[in-house]
Amino acid sequence: MPQTATPRLQASNLTRKFGPRAVVSDLSLTVAAGQVTCLLGPSGCGKSTTLRMIAGVETPDSGTIQIDGQIVCDATRHLPPEARGVGMMFQDFALFPHLTIAKNVAFGLHGDSAKKAARVRELLERVNLSGFDRKYPHELSGGEQQRVALARALAPRPRVMLMDEPFSGLDNRLRDGIRDTTLEVLKEEGAAVLLVTHEPEEALRMADEIALMRDGKIVQQGSPYNIYNAPADREAAAFFSDINVIKGVSKGALTDTPFGAFLTPGHADGGLVDIVIRPQHLKIDFDRAGRGPNPTSLEGTPARGVVSRARFLGHESLVDFTMEFDGSKLTAAVPGVFLPKIGTPLWLMIRRDRCFVFKA
Ligand SMILES: Nc1ncnc2c1ncn2[C@@H]1O[C@H](COP(=O)(O)OP(=O)(O)OP(=O)(O)O)[C@@H](O)[C@H]1O
Ligand SMILES: [Mg+2]
User: How many C-beta neighbours within 10 Å does residue 24 have?
Assistant: 28
Question: 47 C-alpha to center of ligand 1: Å?
Answer: 8
Please say whether the beta carbons of 29 and 221 come within 8 A: yes
Question: 194 C-alpha to center of ligand 1: Å?
Answer: 17
- Mutate which of 15, 16, 18 for ligand 1 pocket (most atoms within 8 A of beta carbon): 18
Please say whether the beta carbons of 198 and 51 come within 8 A: no
161-170, 214-223, 308-317: the lowest-pLDDT one:
161-170
Instruction: Tell me which residue has its CA closest to atom 14 in ligand 1.
Output: 46
Residues in the chain: 360
Quote the pLDDT of residue 78.
94
Quote the pLDDT of residue 196.
96
DSSP string, 343-356: T-EEEEEE-GGG-E
Instruction: Tell me which residue has its CA closest to atom 4 in ligand 1.
Output: 18
Span 299-304, mean pLDDT? 89
* Res. 93: pLDDT tops 80: no
Instruction: Phi first, then psi: give them for residue 269, nearest 5 degrees.
Output: -55, 130
User: Which atom of ligand 1 is closest in space to residue 213's alpha carbon?
Assistant: 21
CA angle 1, 46, 198 (to 5 degrees): 70
- Mutate which of 45, 163, 195, 199 for ligand 1 pocket (most atoms within 8 A of beta carbon): 45
Quote the pLDDT of residue 171.
81
Question: Whose CA is closest to 97, among 149, 57, 158?
Answer: 149
Please say whether the beta carbons of 149 and 93 come within 8 A: yes
Quote the pLDDT of residue 2.
54
Kind of pairing between the strands at 86-90 and 9-18: unpaired
Quote the pLDDT of residue 72.
97
Quote the pLDDT of residue 295.
80
> 241-359, superfamily in CATH?
Nucleic acid-binding proteins (2.40.50.140)
What is the C-alpha separation between 276 and 279, in angstroms, rounded? 10
Q: Say which ligand is closest to the CA of 47.
A: 1
Span 116-134, mean pLDDT? 93
* Res. 245: pLDDT tops 60: yes
Question: Whose CA is closest to 86, among 72, 69, 96, 74?
Answer: 72
Instruction: Tell me which residue has its CA closest to atom 27 in ligand 1.
Output: 43
Quote the pLDDT of residue 100.
97
Span 101-119, mean pLDDT? 94
> 9-85+158-239, superfamily in CATH?
P-loop containing nucleotide triphosphate hydrolases (3.40.50.300)
Band of the pLDDT at 290, cuts 50, 70, 90?
A: confident
User: Which atom of ligand 1 is closest in space to residue 216's alpha carbon?
Assistant: 14
Span 175-184, mean pLDDT? 86
Q: Say which ligand is closest to the CA of 164.
A: 2
Please say whether the beta carbons of 307 and 319 come within 8 A: yes
Instruction: Phi first, then psi: give them for residue 40, nearest 5 degrees.
Output: -120, 135
* Res. 95: pLDDT tops 60: yes
Beta strands in the chain (DSSP E): 9-18, 21-31, 36-40, 62-67, 70-73, 86-90, 160-164, 192-197, 209-214, 217-222, 244-251, 254-257, 260-263, 272-277, 282-286, 303-312, 316-323, 329-335, 345-350, 356-359
- Which residues does a 6 A CB cutoff place in the pocket of ligand 1? 18, 23, 41, 43-49, 198
Beta strands in 140-187 (DSSP E): 160-164
Band of the pLDDT at 5, cuts 50, 70, 90?
A: low
Question: 156 C-alpha to center of ligand 2: Å?
Answer: 25
Span 24-39, mean pLDDT? 96
The domain spans of the chain are 9-85+158-239, 241-359
pLDDT digits (tens, 9 = 90+) for 256-283: 999 999 999 999 999 999 999 999 999 9
User: Which atom of ligand 1 is closest in space to residue 41's alpha carbon?
Assistant: 21
* Res. 92: pLDDT tops 80: no
Question: b or e along 151-160 (b: 16 or more beta carbons within 10 Å of the residue's beta carbon)?
Answer: bbbbbbebbb
Alpha helices (runs of H) in 307-346, residue ranges in sequence order: none
Q: Say which ligand is closest to the CA of 24.
A: 1
Span 78-91, mean pLDDT? 90
Kindly state the percentage of the chain with pLDDT values over 70: 99
Span 68-84, mean pLDDT? 94
Cross-strand bridge partners of residue 125: none
Question: Whose CA is closest to 302, among 313, 293, 291, 312?
Answer: 293
